[in-house]
Amino acid sequence: MADGVGRGTICHATLPGGFVHESGSPVLIISRDQVLVETGLAIVLPLSSRDPQLSYPFAWRVPDQMLERASWILIRQPRSAPTRALRDPLARLDDEQLDEVVRGLRLLIED
């Protein structure tokens, strides 16, 4: 796992299956850091630069100026990725922002 890559980090990842860019797809890591170390896997949420036309809790807009272009975290599409596939940190959400994203995921899966 690359230095500076952990919970709350937006980074590039090469995800198994599906179309990906040569440099990898941007993802947000939502796993606790201890899980990353112990399992070698991360739970991630993909990002898209296309407006998903879905509101929260299905997607969450990354704050302006955090990334080079407007981006949305696709909360509705959690995936796992090997930690060795995580690289090139781009930005990091603060605790409040990360809590809002995780709260969105909980809204989708809990009664």
Contact predicate 17/5, CB 8 Å: no
**14, part of any domain:** yes
33-55 average pLDDT score: 95
**93, part of any domain:** yes
Please give the tally of structural domains in the chain: 1
**4, part of any domain:** no
| Burial degree of 10 (CB within 10 A; 0-12, 13-18, 19+) | buried
Domain that holds residue 45: 9-109
**85, part of any domain:** yes
Global pTM reads 0.91
Contact predicate 30/44, CB 8 Å: yes
Q: List, for residues 73-111, the tens digit of each pLDDT value.
A: 999 999 999 999 999 999 999 999 999 999 999 999 998
**22, part of any domain:** yes
Provide the CATH number for the domain around residue 66. Answer: 2.30.30.110
